[in-house]
Amino acid sequence: MWTFFCLFTVIAWACTELFGKIGSKDTSDKLSHWKITSCVGFAMGMLALVYIFVLHTDVSISNIISYLPISLCYIVSMIFGYVGLRYIMLSISSPISNASCGITSILCVIFLDQILTPLQIVAVISIVLGIILLGYTFVDKDEQKNADKKYTKSLVALSFPLLYCILDGIGSFLDAMYLNDSIMTENEVTVCYFLTFFVVGILAWIYVSIREKKVYNLFSNKWFCFQSIGEALGQITYVFALAKAPAIAAPLIGTYSIVSILLSRIFLKEKLTKIQYAIIGVVLIAMFILSFE
């Protein structure tokens, strides 16, 4: 069942990246990342109510505070990712961001006594190296030689998915530790995260409204709305998958960047080279190894 949860998360989050990129096409809008944050926060807040009143999930202030460091790791990393959508191709940002799966797996093996078979170790390494190489191959070599103003901005743009990578990797490890030690149930973890994101979303909505000097309409950008739904639903299945097989689920879910790249090629017309297609093939094979080994 955890494999199904992984695959659903992969599809959901790949689509959210596409929706977010389309919605952020106006690079002059310096508040787009806060607008996305407010929409996602609202969606997660609504789902939190479903967990509390329909599924009767218990939630306490102490649990929310206890889970707060993990929630903030995820939320801050996502905001960095939303900023990057304005300045960098999705085909670049997604692979770099999802190299975080390697950080998570290594930390899980070291601190949570998770055991990988030799073939699974090779698969994890292949995924991490493939994702990193895929991001590297998208860097414009002419910009590297010229080192002009545009290239400087590109370096800044690359820092956003890199920051996402680091924070998300740490957050996923801490998440696995909580779930592995049964400190909190999957539903409790989900509600704590959703409620924290809801609060951050409200603050983001207030900030955008103040900056634009009018009440921001959460439904004014349909792509951000689609993105928020995918983010929330993907988070639910992600938590269940991570609870069952953290060392394997993390890199498997990280391959949603591959799907994002394919979607960006189809809908955003971002072109891939033969080498890049080869790297995608290797990562997909590694993904299946982790699923069925």
pLDDT tens digits for range 165-213: 889 989 988 877 776 666 777 788 889 999 999 999 999 999 999 999 9
The DSSP 8-state label assigned to residue 147 in this structure reads -
Q: How far is CA 196 from the centre of its chain?
A: 17
Q: Which residue has the tokens 């929706």?
A: 19
pLDDT of residue 110: 81
Q: Where do the domains of the chain lie?
A: 2-17+28-292
> What is the arithmetic mean of pLDDT over 238-248?
73
Is pLDDT at 289 greater than 80 in this prediction?
Answer: no
Determine the Cα–Cα distance for residues 162 and 166; give it in Å rounded to an integer.
6
CB 19 within 8 A of CB 226: yes
- Highest mean pLDDT range out of 113-117, 248-252, 265-269, 286-290? 265-269
Question: 81-95, pLDDT tens digit by residue?
Answer: 999 888 888 887 888
Instruction: Enter the pTM of the model.
Output: 0.84
Confidence of residue 247 (pLDDT cuts 50, 70, 90): low
Q: Flag whether pLDDT at 149 surpasses 60.
A: no
Residue 226 has pLDDT above 60, yes or no: yes
DSSP string, 227-293: HHHHHHHHHHHHHHHHHH-HHHHHHHHHTHHHHHHHHHHHHS-----HHHHHHHHHHHHHHHHHHH-
Round to whole Å and give the CA distance between 179 and 174.
Answer: 9
- Alpha-carbon distance of 259 to 252, in angstroms, equals 12
φ and ψ of 261, to 5 deg = -65, -40
User: How far is Cα 34 from Cα 173, in angstroms, rounded to an integer?
Assistant: 26
Are the beta carbons of 224 and 41 closer than 8 angstroms?
A: no
Q: Supply the DSSP string of 10-50, one letter for each residue.
A: HHHHHHHHHHHHHHT--TT-TTHHHHHHHHHHHHHHHHHHH
- The torsion angles phi and psi of 216, rounded to 5 degrees, stand at -75, 125
State the Cα–Cα distance between residues 67 and 138, nearest whole angstrom.
36
Q: Are 248 and 119 in contact (CB under 8 A)?
A: no
